[in-house]
Amino acid sequence: MKTRYFLLVLLVCTAAFIQKAERDPRLVGKWTMLFSKDENGEIVKDEFYGKSYIETFTRDGKWIIDPQFLRDDAKRLGVNAPIDYSAIPTFQWKTTDDQFLEMITSEGTRTNRYGFLGDTLIFGYSNGHTRYLLKRK
């Protein structure tokens, strides 16, 4: 009896400290990239600046990156071959505690902080950079 009681208490305590992984419904939809800022709060004017790439977060956990972003990123890396749009991967996403976004790719998982300012989604990265996206209507 004591063993059962101990196991029950242990199970309840463990469950209380486990972070709940879910999908924040506020992220679901299409988002247009506005700009990024560096760790000093300065707008980053790189080859992606002003391109208005679209990112899509679906209700079932798919994260779809704009193919134009992938094309421009490949060019930045010196790859000039045409992109096979049918081969563009979709990734997975989930959130924890309505503040951490976990993005699951073929190269692994990365976690970033996120928040909202009106209809603007803000991602915070570990290097101090931030990225701003506007919700599409």
pLDDT of residue 74: 86
Spatial neighbors of 120 by CB under 8 A, at least 6 apart, are: 34, 132, 133, 134, 135
Query: Which CATH number describes the domain made up of 19-135?
Result: 2.40.128.280
The answer to whether the CB of 123 falls within 8 A of the CB of 114 is yes
Residue 59 tokens read as 């209700």
pTM of the model: 0.78
| Mean pLDDT, residues 77-84 taken together | 85
Comparison of pLDDT for 33 and 73, the residue scoring more:
33
* Model pLDDT for residues 86-117, shown as the tens digit of each residue: 878 879 999 999 999 999 988 899 999 999 99
Per-domain boundaries in the chain: 19-135
Question: Strand pairing partners for 57?
Answer: 29, 63
For residue 87, count other CB atoms closer than 10 A to its CB. 6
pLDDT of residue 117: 97
* Model pLDDT for residues 14-49, shown as the tens digit of each residue: 444 444 569 999 999 999 999 999 999 999 998 888
Tell the burial category of 100 from Cβ atoms under 10 Å away from its Cβ (0-12, 13-18, 19+). Answer: middle
pLDDT of residue 21: 60
pLDDT of residue 104: 93
Measured distance CA(16)–CA(24) in Å, rounded: 20
Q: What is the mean pLDDT of the chain?
A: 85
